[in-house]
Amino acid sequence: MSNILDKIFAAKKTELEGTRRAVPLAEVKNKIGDQRAVISIMETLRASGDGSKIVAEIKRRTPFKGDLVEQFDPLAIARTYADSGASAISILTESQFFGGDLKFVEQASQEVSIPLLRKDFIFDEYQVHESRACGADFFLLIATSLDRNQLKDLLELGKEIGLTALVETHHEQDMEKAFYAGAELLGINNRDLTTGKTDLEISRRLLKETRGMGHLVLVCESGIDSRAQIEEFEELGMHAFLIGESLMKAANISDKLQEFTGHGKIQSAG
Given the residues 12, 52, 57, 109, select the one marked as catalytic.
Answer: 57
Given the residues 12, 53, 119, 256, select the one marked as catalytic.
Answer: 119
Given the residues 12, 52, 53, 59, select the one marked as catalytic.
Answer: 59
Alpha carbon distances (Å) from 14 to 10, 39, 98, 104, 120: 6, 31, 16, 22, 15
C-beta atoms surrounding 65 within 10 Å: 11
190 assigned to active site: no
119 assigned to active site: yes
Given the residues 94, 130, 168, 245, select the one marked as catalytic.
Answer: 168
What does the alpha-carbon distance between residue 107 and residue 90 come to, in Å, rounded to a whole number?
A: 13
Q: Coil, helix or strand for 260?
A: helix
222 assigned to active site: yes
Given the residues 84, 90, 145, 189, select the one marked as catalytic.
Answer: 189
Alpha carbon distances (Å) from 221 to 166, 171, 199: 11, 13, 11
254 assigned to active site: no
Q: Cα–chain-centroid distance for residue 174?
A: 16
176 assigned to active site: no
What does the alpha-carbon distance between residue 190 and residue 171 come to, in Å, rounded to a whole number?
A: 9
Given the residues 84, 90, 131, 222, select the one marked as catalytic.
Answer: 222
**Residues classed as catalytic:** 57, 59, 119, 168, 189, 221-222
